[in-house]
Chains A and B, each alone.
Chain A
Amino acid sequence: GEDVEQSLFLSVREGDSSVINCTYTDSSSTYLYWYKQEPGAGLQLLTYIFSNMDMKQDQRLTVLLNKKDKHLSLRIADTQTGDSAIYFCAESLSGGYQKVTFGTGTKLQVIP
């Protein structure tokens, strides 16, 4: 079955880079996502990567995928206080019309 694991907490100083890690078990996962949840809000899709890609960059965000080790990471460059949130790693077998399996979420605290 599917299982997605993340560390629960990460604290970084403003201006530093943040790296949030995730491992998943389903080797047939096709889409891997990072969602962000700010306090009192819903989940916001930050970025996604297809399983046939190794890396995807989008402004301050870099996603790295090691398919062999089933390891996904999200790097946030120049972390700001507004980046403080819970970040969820997720995977699905196909696109937006199938269920997504989420991790427990990593709470990112940015210290000014």
Chain B
Amino acid sequence: EAGVTQFPSHSVIEKGQTVTLRCDPISGHDNLYWYRRVMGKEIKFLLHFVKESKQDESGMPNNRFLAERTGGTYSTLKVQPAELEDSGVYFCASSQALMYGYTFGSGTRLTVV
């Protein structure tokens, strides 16, 4: 079974540019989550999809962040325009209902300079 795949693994962009992160969950997992870890701090929840619907987006920091999940399959997280404080590692995870714990991707390390 393929795991959760994230692309790209690293991205370095300039302040003001746009970046789009992609996540491919495990096939058949309805739940998809985005998390972010800013350097040395805790991993913070961003949002949760159930299929193509946003179940909980309470963790999205501001309207520069836009997440989509087309057809309930892969998801994208767009940051536009990027700011310095957006730097960090963005993790995607997926789960099936009633599973205990998530399966995480390896993360995308975003650096805004």
A100 and B41 contact, CB distance less than 8 A: no
Binds A, one of B61-69, B71-79, B80-88, B90-98: B90-98
| Chain B interface residue count, Cβ-Cβ cutoff 8 angstroms | 31
CB < 8 Å: which of B3, B4, B33, B101 contacts A48? Answer: B101
A96 and B56 contact, CB distance less than 8 A: no
Kindly state whether residue B22 has any CB partner on chain A within 8 Å. Answer: no
B100 and A31 contact, CB distance less than 8 A: yes
Bitwise interface map of B from 7 to 39 toward A, beta carbon under 8 Å scored 1, else 0: 000000000000000000000001101010000
B106 and A41 contact, CB distance less than 8 A: yes
The prevalent SS among residues of A at the interface is loop
In A11-69, the 8 Å CB interface with B consists of 31, 33, 35, 40-45, 48
Kindly state whether residue A102 has any CB partner on chain B within 8 Å. Answer: yes
User: Are A96 and B91 CB-contacts (below 8 A) given A102-B42, A104-B41, A104-B42?
Assistant: no
Kindly state whether residue B113 has any CB partner on chain A within 8 Å. Answer: no
Kindly state whether residue B50 has any CB partner on chain A within 8 Å. Answer: yes
A96 and B95 contact, CB distance less than 8 A: yes
| Chain A interface residue count, Cβ-Cβ cutoff 8 angstroms | 24
Q: Nearest Cβ distance between residue B44 and chain A, in whole angstroms?
A: 8
Q: Nearest Cβ distance between residue B65 and chain A, in whole angstroms?
A: 16
Kindly state whether residue A4 has any CB partner on chain B within 8 Å. Answer: yes
B43 and A99 contact, CB distance less than 8 A: no
Residue of B nearest to A45 (CB): B101
Chain B residues with CB under 8 A of A33: 100-101
CB < 8 Å: which of B41, B59, B97 contacts A97? Answer: B97
Q: How far is the CA of A96 from the CA of B98 in the complex (A)?
A: 6
B binding-site residues for A, Cβ under 8 Å: 3-4, 30-31, 33, 35, 40-45, 48, 50, 56, 59, 91, 93, 95-107
